[in-house]
Amino acid sequence: MVTLNTIIVAGAGTMGQGIAQLCATLGKQTIMYDVSQEGLTKARQAIDQNLYQSVAKGRLAAEKVATIQTRIVYTTRLEDAVGDMLIEAIVEQTAPKKALFRVLEQQNSPQFIIASNTSSIPMEVLSEGLSRPERVVGLHFFNPATVMKLVEVISGPQTLACVAQQAEDLALLMNKTVVRAKDAPGFIVNRVARPYYAESLRLLGAGGLVHEDIDRLLESVGFRMGPFRLMDLIGVDTNLSVTTSIYEGLGCPKRFEPNPIQQSMVLQGHHGRKSGQGFYPYSKDEGPIAR
């Protein structure tokens, strides 16, 4: 069983940032890889801000911040991504994930673990064509990864039990609640969550209600975030990619069909908080602008 000393986090978006912070806080050497230098710069700033906020809230000792920061190396060079385990958090599309896995499998040891943070794509699909599909596992965090407790661990048909156990053990060390999920489109949470978004979008499209009303009504009965606020937080584009993946993976059932409203927003670049505009407009500090 490989010792997880160095963890590669691929993807400097919101999920990757949170996962990298968790790994470094746990004491792991962490390599954050992204194709965009701008994305890495933003990730470093976001992680630093989160660490200082944790100090301000009394959750982290101030003297530990510098140590955590020095554990994270930021790079756009894929050849720098050498370690014991990959946690992939790039775009929610099969082809880019598989291409990344092929390269990293070749330049790392035979004991290298490939863990995907995919929201919806089965491990059976992601491990196709790899030399060591038995070392691929799903490790699905929820946004924000530093706060949300749940983590899904997904074994593909060839995943070794010891690989899945190491993924689970890592999440437990991060103080997460782990659930083993079946290797099927959407796993547990995202499959169950699709109607929350789909029916809300259908209501919006039918007219008579605006998205603020739907969010307000659902929040009033106990949902922490309404569907439109939540889509903005996740990323309207990411949410659409997950919906499309589950829809196609399950044989295109009508109830999971991607909605034209969401498709139009993505085409316009209205991706939510990260773009400054989603169903709501956002200020630079990512807070919704009051209207």
Q: Give the whole-angstrom CA distance, residue 156 versus residue 98.
A: 15
Report the CATH architecture of 6-181. 3-Layer(aba) Sandwich (3.40)
Q: Taken in order 258, 261, 265, 267, is the CA torsion positive or negative?
A: positive
- Tell me whether residue 152 is one of the annotated catalytic residues: yes
- In angstroms, the CA 153 to CA 230 distance is 23
195 contacts: CB under 8 Å, gap ≥ 6: 255
Domain boundaries, the chain: 6-181, 190-275
DSSP secondary structure string, the chain?
Answer: -----EEEEE--SHHHHHHHHHHHHTT-EEEEE-S-HHHHHHHHHHHHHHHHHHHHTTSS-GGGHHHHHHTEEEES-GGG--SSEEEE---S-HHHHHHHHHHHHHHS-TT-EEEE--SS--HHHHTTT-S-GGGEEEEE--SSTTT--EEEEEE-TT--HHHHHHHHHHHHHTT-EEEEE-SSTTTTHHHHHHHHHHHHHHHHHHSS--HHHHHHHHHHTT-SS-HHHHHHHH-HHHHHHHHHHHHHHTT--GGGPPPHHHHHHHHTT--BGGGTBSSSBB-TTSPBPP-
pLDDT tens track for 148-191: 999 999 999 999 999 999 999 999 999 999 999 999 999 999 99
Q: Is the pLDDT assigned to residue 290 strictly greater than 50? A: no
- Selecting among 54, 117, 119, 127, the annotated active-site residue is 119
pLDDT of residue 291: 33
At residue 289, does pLDDT exceed 90?
no
Spot the catalytic one: 54, 92, 117, 140.
140
From the candidates 117, 190, 200, 239, give the one annotated as an active-site residue. 190
283 pLDDT band, cuts 50/70/90, is: confident
Report the alpha-carbon distance of residue 243 to residue 259 in Å, rounded: 9
Are 14 and 57 a contacting pair, CB within 8 Å?
Answer: no
pLDDT of residue 1: 76
CATH class of 190-275: mainly alpha
Q: pLDDT digit string (tens) for 44-93?
A: 999 999 999 999 999 999 999 999 999 999 999 999 999 999 999 999 99
Q: What is the reported pTM?
A: 0.89
| R_g over Cα of the chain | 19
Structural tokens at position 154: 């997904």
- Set 88, 92, 152, 168: catalytic member: 152
Residue 119 bears catalytic tag: yes
pLDDT at site 26: 96
